[in-house]
């Protein structure tokens, strides 16, 4: 049998001291039903050192030719200082968590320009960090990154930990994946990484269809990643595996024909086997069919559940199976855009700072408060008016609150709807800042402040409303001018149908004075 069969069966042999042992090790003595196997079945692991070497070579050759030109890769490759190199990688890995590469690039460039070293970041204020991070989401990441940078500078003499174990142990906010990425890319430690992209690639390579959050699958994937990582180029190998998942082995419509490691992919071979079988039936002649063994273990914690059998229409995207997501909780919040006329006539807005912990910690927002379920619009206005009244220290009628509209924003675990109101204030107002810091800002200052994307949406709907109100006011003004000119025409004895008396002239005539001046334009 060929190399693939050897790969599928290789680790059944005992006494192997090769990398395959690392690929298959898990907690000893656990039963399949108990969540772990002493060793995963051959279908779900790499057992042939020759195959592992071949996979490494093919993947690295593809990466050298096809990798994307990304600023953190360029910076890390050119930086001779190990600590600065590790910092550059660290920032990118934190920003890339749950965030697309295209979104991160601009934030990363601005961040590294402003704080090119750990020391520069440690000296910054949290307000500055939040301002630059605003719009990137998951705002606690920036705060934890700065806290960890300060720890490196103040407690570790500015020297980054050199191993994945120490990085994870000593730096707040650095988990197993981030530690592995920094250690392998910056310091050349031969340690694997497992993120969403790597999970997808490995699950397809070895037909792992169980819940990827289960302990059995997690252990298997990390062991496999550690076994596969190239010892001479660990950082490049890990980035290549992630690059493959991001650009070729994608969640939907994967480009299997372009995959450099498809020959090692059990999911792809299963698809090929089905196509060959279908062709054989269609033409009624024998066709070579790739051999893909079944797992052979009843109740295997790595196989898809029995209730979710292989779906031929999905092909390799049968793996990994999507975990059932918890539905986000639904919340409503009343938000008031308080504004006044600034010194130069432009509007200024009042923003207040959120608490230093919890959702959107330390960010600025328009005055807001959570709403109880089921409140009608008038009830919403009443509770918002009470909130603003106590805060402003003066009477406030609910009729003065103008409903603007609703803004929906989806956080990772919250489906948030903002009921937006506006309130224009005459003159200055003495504000009670005991509950939280507050300040008046122009539109430009607002956009430069540490405000969430949700609040930017709130301001946008208010600006749209103001534009509509301005248009209505202009229409009313033109209508009044037209009535005035019509009266002038009657006074001068003119008609709108006269060849010498156009509507434009009639409207423009109002600038010459009122009809009572008896001094009409010449026509």
Task: For residue 484, tell me if it sits in a domain.
Answer: no
User: What percent of the chain clears pLDDT 70, i.e. is strictly above it?
Assistant: 77
Q: Are residues 417 and 455 in the same domain?
A: yes
**Are 309 and 353 within one domain?**
no
Please give the average per-residue pLDDT across 188-216, as a whole number: 95
Average pLDDT over residues 154-180: 97
Q: Do 385 and 421 fall within a single domain? A: yes
269 and 345 housed in the same domain: no
pLDDT of res. 503: 31
Q: pLDDT tens digits for 475-493?
A: 554 445 444 444 444 443 4
pLDDT in tens, 30-52: 333 344 455 777 789 898 999 99
Confidence check: pLDDT of 264 > 50 = yes
Residues 255 and 117 in one domain: yes
Q: Residue 251 in contact with residue 200, Cβ under 8 Å?
A: yes
> What is the Cα–Cα distance from 267 to 54, expressed in whole angstroms?
18
**What does the alpha-carbon distance between residue 419 and residue 378 come to, in Å, rounded to a whole number?**
12
Nearest to 216 by CA among 394, 7, 414, 26: 26
User: Which range scores top for mean pLDDT: 173-177, 284-288, 436-440?
Assistant: 173-177
20 occurs within a structural domain: no
Verify that 347 and 239 share a domain, yes or no: no
Same domain, 136 and 182: yes
- What pLDDT does residue 284 have? 61
Question: Residue 500: inside a domain, yes or no?
Answer: no
Inform me whether the pLDDT recorded for 500 exceeds 50: no
* Surface-to-core class of residue 167, CB atoms within 10 Å of its CB (0-12 exposed, 13-18 middle, 19+ buried): buried
- Residues 6 or more apart whose Cβ sits within 8 Å of residue 288: 276
The alpha carbon of 35 is separated from its chain's Cα centroid by a whole number of angstroms, namely: 31
Mean pLDDT across 237-243: 98
Specify if 82 maps to a domain: yes
| Separation between Cα atoms, residue 422 and residue 350, nearest integer Å | 11
Cis peptide, bond prior to residue 320, ω within 30 of zero: yes
Q: Residue 416 falls within a domain, yes or no?
A: yes
Q: Can you give the residue range of the structural domain that contains 371? A: 329-464
Residue 29 has pLDDT above 70, yes or no: no
In whole angstroms, what is the distance from residue 376 CA to residue 382 CA? 10
Containing 409, the helix (H) or strand (E) segment is strand 402-410
Closest of 1, 8, 2 to residue 47, by C-alpha: 8
Output 280-285 pairs: Cβ under 8 A, ≥24 positions apart.
none
Same structural domain, 314 and 372: no
pLDDT of residue 483: 47
Residues 367 and 437 in one domain: yes
User: Domain for residue 523, yes or no?
Assistant: no
Confirm whether 88 is domain-assigned.
Answer: yes
Question: Could you give the angle at which helices 234-247 and 49-66 cross, rounded to 10 degrees?
Answer: 70
Q: Pick from 130, 172, 150: which is nearest to 362 by CA?
A: 130
Map residue 475 onto helix, strand or coil: helix
Residue 336 pLDDT more than 70? yes
Q: Which phi and psi (to 5°) does residue 417 adopt? A: -115, 125
Q: By the 8 A CB rule, do 464 and 491 touch?
A: no
What DSSP string describes 490-515?
A: HHHT--TT-TT--HHHHHHGGGG--G
- Higher local confidence (pLDDT), 515 or 51: 51
Can you tell me the distance from the alpha carbon of 199 to that of 144, in angstroms, rounded to the nearest whole number? 25
- Give the range among 135-144, 187-196, 432-441 with minimum mean pLDDT: 432-441
Is residue 250 domain-shared with residue 366, that is, in the same domain? no
The per-residue pLDDT for 31 is 36
- Is residue 290 a part of any domain in this protein? no
Q: Work out the burial of residue 35: count CB atoms within 10 Å of its CB; fewer than 13 is exposed, 13-18 middle, 19 or more buried.
A: middle
CATH number at residue 92: 1.10.340.30
Instruction: Choose between 301 and 57: higher pLDDT.
Output: 57
Q: Average the pLDDT over 465-481 and give the result.
A: 60
Whether 502 shows a pLDDT value over 80: the answer reads no
CA-CA-CA-CA torsion for 56, 60, 62, 66, nearest 10 degrees?
150
**Over 70: is that where the pLDDT of 505 sits?**
no
* Model pLDDT for residues 349-370, shown as the tens digit of each residue: 999 999 888 889 889 999 999 9
d(CA 43, CA 119): 49
All residues at 6 or more sequence positions from 442 whose CB lies less than 8 Å from its CB, including other chains: 342, 346, 347, 348, 349
From its phi and psi, is residue 399 left (phi > 0), alpha (psi between -120 and 50) or beta? Answer: alpha
Instruction: Using pLDDT thresholds of 50, 70 and 90, give the confidence band for residue 57.
Output: very high
Whether residue 203 is found in the same domain as residue 150: yes
Q: How many domains does the chain have?
A: 2
Query: Beta-carbon neighbour count of residue 157 at 10 Å?
Result: 7
Q: What is the mean pLDDT of the chain?
A: 82
Q: Compute the distance between CA of residue 2 and CA of residue 381 in angstroms, rounded to an integer.
A: 74
Last residue in a domain, options 417, 433, 464: 464
CATH number for 403: 3.90.79.10
- Judgement on whether residues 311 and 350 belong to the same structural domain of the protein: no
Residue that is last in its domain, among 267, 288, 318: 318
Q: Tell me the per-residue pLDDT of 58-79, one tens digit each, with 9 for 90 and over.
A: 999 999 999 999 999 999 999 9
Print burial letters for 470-482: b (CB count within 10 Å at least 16), e (below 16): eeeeeeeeeeebe
| Catalytic sites, residue numbers | 93
For residue 255, which phi and psi values (nearest 5 degrees)?
Answer: -95, 70
CB atoms within 10 A of CB 521: 15
Pairing state of beta strands 329-341 and 368-371?
Answer: antiparallel
pLDDT > 90 fraction of the chain, expressed in percent and rounded: 59
**In residues, how long is the chain?**
523
Residue with tokens 């806290």: 147
Q: Which of 256, 290, 318 is the last residue of a domain?
A: 318
Q: What is the CA radius of gyration of the chain?
A: 33
Q: Residue 416 to residues 98, 338, 359, 362, 422: CA-CA distances in angstroms? A: 19, 21, 12, 19, 19
pLDDT category of residue 129 using cuts at 50, 70 and 90: very high
């Amino acid at each position: 049998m060929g190399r693939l069969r050897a790969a599928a069966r290789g680790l059944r042999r005992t006494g192997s001291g090769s990398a395959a042992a690392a690929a298959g090790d898990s907690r000893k003595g656990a039963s399949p039903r108990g969540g772990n196997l002493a060793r995963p079945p051959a279908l779900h692991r790499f057992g042939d050192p020759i195959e592992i070497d071949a996979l490494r070579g093919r993947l690295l050759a593809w990466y050298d030719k096809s990798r994307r030109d990304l600023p953190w890769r360029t910076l890390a490759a050119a930086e001779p200082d190990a600590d600065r190199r590790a910092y550059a990688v660290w920032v990118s890995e934190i920003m890339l968590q749950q965030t697309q590469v295209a979104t991160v690039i601009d934030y990363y460039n601005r961040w590294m320009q402003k704080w090119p070293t750990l020391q520069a970041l440690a000296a910054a204020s949290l307000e500055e960090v939040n301002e630059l991070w605003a719009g990137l989401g998951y705002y606690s990441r920036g705060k934890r990154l700065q806290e960890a940078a300060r720890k490196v500078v103040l407690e570790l003499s500015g020297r980054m930990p050199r191993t994945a174990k120490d990085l994870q142990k000593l730096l707040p906010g650095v988990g197993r994946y981030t530690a592995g990425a920094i250690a392998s890319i910056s310091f050349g430690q031969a340690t694997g990484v497992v993120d969403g992209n790597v999970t997808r690639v490995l699950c397809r390579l070895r037909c792992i269809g169980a819940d990827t959050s289960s302990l059995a699958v997690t252990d298997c994937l990390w062991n496999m990643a550690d076994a596969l990582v190239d010892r001479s180029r660990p950082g490049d190998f890990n980035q290549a595996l992630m690059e493959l998942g991001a650009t070729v082995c994608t969640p939907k419509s994967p480009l299997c024909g372009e995959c450099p490691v498809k020959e090692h992919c059990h999911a792809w071979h299963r698809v090929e086997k089905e196509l060959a079988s279908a062709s054989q039936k269609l033409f009624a002649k024998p066709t070579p069919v790739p051999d893909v063994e079944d797992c052979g273990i009843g109740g295997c914690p790595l196989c898809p559940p029995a209730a979710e059998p292989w779906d031929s229409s999905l092909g390799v995207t049968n793996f990994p199976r999507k975990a059932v997501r918890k539905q986000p909780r639904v919340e409503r919040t009343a938000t008031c855009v308080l504004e006044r006329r600034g010194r130069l006539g432009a509007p200024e807005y009042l923003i207040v700072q959120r608490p230093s912990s919890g959702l959107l910690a330390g960010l600025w927002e328009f005055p807001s408060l959570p709403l109880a379920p089921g409140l009608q619009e008038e009830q919403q206005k009443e509770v918002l008016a009470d909130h603003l009244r106590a805060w402003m220290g003066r009477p406030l009628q609910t009729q003065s609150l103008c409903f603007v509209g609703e803004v929906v924003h989806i956080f990772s675990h919250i489906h948030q709807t903002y009921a937006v109101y506006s309130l224009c204030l005459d003159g200055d107002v003495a504000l009670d800042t005991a509950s939280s810091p507050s300040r008046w800002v122009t539109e430009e200052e607002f956009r430069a402040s540490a405000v969430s994307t949700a609040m930017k949406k709130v301001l946008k709907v208010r600006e749209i409303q103001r534009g509509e109100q301005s248009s209505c006011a202009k229409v009313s003004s033109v209508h009044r001018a037209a009535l005035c000119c019509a009266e002038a025409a009657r006074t001068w004895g003119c008609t709108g149908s006269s060849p010498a008396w156009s509507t434009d002239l009639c409207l423009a005539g109002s600038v010459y004075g009122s009809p009572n001046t008896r001094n009409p334009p010449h026509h």
